[in-house]
Amino acid sequence: MGGFLASRFMSDVFNGVANGIIFSLIALSLVVVWQSTNVLNFAQGAMATFATYIGMTQVEHGINIWLCMVISVVVGFIFGGLTERVLIRPLYGKPDINPIVVMVGFLGFLQFLAAAIWGNIPRILPSPFSQVFYTSKGHTIFLSPFVVFQILTAVTVMMIVALVFRFTTLGLKLRAAALAPEVARLLGVRVDRLLTFGWMISSAVGSFTAILVAMQNGSALSPSVMGSVFIFGFIAAAVGGLDSPIGAVVGGLLIGLVEQFTLDYWQANMAPVMALVVLIVVLMIRPRGLFTKNTQRRV
């Protein structure tokens, strides 16, 4: 059994799932914003990085690592609400391109601001768990306590968000506020507050993801640490469907596995290409993603 778990195939599966979980979290944060406000937040990665800097750099002042993680998530939660109130709210009802342009500009602004405040030198963050791989009868299994923590906590976060959106009154109100705000207001829904709350949840999930990314072996906290991760997460969201939290999870895992097997059996430069190939194939078959129901229009 140890030999099988340490095989090349299973090593790729473990690494693919670990990366896929990260992509799923980013995809989920995008889905949350989309479902609650019908806006694509292209600055999600930069916002998460900025919040992570504010919280995790407190480790240098002797603050406990767990408390620093909580600070980062709370800052991300507040940051998301402020972003919706200040930048996005004036754009509701405007052409769809307006929020996209604003958030792309905000992305660049946050990256430059983070570099100006904390510099471009990557900062190694301490891990709350060992990143040494397990062994079984002399075989190295490409799982570590940190990877297990990463997977379990990410799955927990994704399940909570998915359950909230699909099976609670709050989730129903969030979707109603995005799809039919005027009707929702007539029914007594506090639309403005819910739109803000959707951004707050999304930003908190993104901040938690940035912490996990910066703590990984071979990675560190830098202004651009979430750049490539956001791209793969965006592809995952499109593959799974922007209206489906479950689709975000499945899409992230699929892209993570495709990336890892491409890295191992082909070459690193082809990983983004194969992710795009998966996206193109899926959208040709299911234009709205794998888990989004196609709507039919009666003429």
Give pLDDT tens digits for 199-212. 999 999 999 999 99
| Domain-embedded: residue 243 | no
Do residues 175 and 36 touch, judged by C-beta distance below 8 A? Answer: yes
Distance in angstroms (rounded) separating the CA atoms of residues 101 and 1: 52
Higher pLDDT, 298 or 220: 220
Instruction: Categorize the per-residue pLDDT at 2 as very low, low, confident or very high, splitting at 50, 70 and 90.
Output: low
- Position 132, amino acid: V
Q: Which pLDDT value is given to residue 37?
A: 81
| Domain-embedded: residue 189 | yes
The CA angle 128-81-236, to the nearest 5 degrees, is 65
Give pLDDT tens digits for 128-140. 898 888 887 777 8
Distance in angstroms (rounded) separating the CA atoms of residues 45 and 29: 10
**Can you say whether the dihedral through the CA atoms of 151, 152, 154, 159 is positive or negative?**
positive
Q: Which pLDDT value is given to residue 294?
A: 58
| Domain-embedded: residue 140 | yes
Per DSSP, helices labelled H in the chain are 2-5, 8-37, 44-56, 65-83, 97-118, 145-167, 169-179, 181-186, 191-215, 227-240, 245-265, 271-285
Higher pLDDT, 244 or 145: 145
Query: Which residues form the domain of 48?
Result: 2-224
Residue with the two structure tokens 């969201």: 237
Q: Which pLDDT value is given to residue 288?
A: 87
Q: Is the pLDDT of residue 5 over 80?
A: no
Give pLDDT tens digits for 62-73. 899 999 999 999
Tell me the percentage of the chain whose pLDDT exceeds 70: 97
Q: Is the pLDDT of residue 297 over 50?
A: no
Give pLDDT tens digits for 48-59. 999 999 999 898
Q: Is the pLDDT of residue 299 over 60?
A: no
Region 260-278: mean pLDDT is: 89
| Domain-embedded: residue 135 | yes
Distance in angstroms (rounded) separating the CA atoms of residues 143 and 133: 5
| Domain-embedded: residue 281 | no
Measured distance between the N- and C-terminal CA atoms of the chain, rounded to whole angstroms: 59
Tell me the percentage of the chain whose pLDDT exceeds 90: 48
Do residues 110 and 50 touch, judged by C-beta distance below 8 A? Answer: yes
Which DSSP string corresponds to 120-173? SS-BPPPPSS--PPEEETTEEES--HHHHHHHHHHHHHHHHHHHHHHHSHHHHH
| Domain-embedded: residue 159 | yes
| Domain-embedded: residue 195 | yes
User: What domain count does the chain have?
Assistant: 1
| Domain-embedded: residue 14 | yes
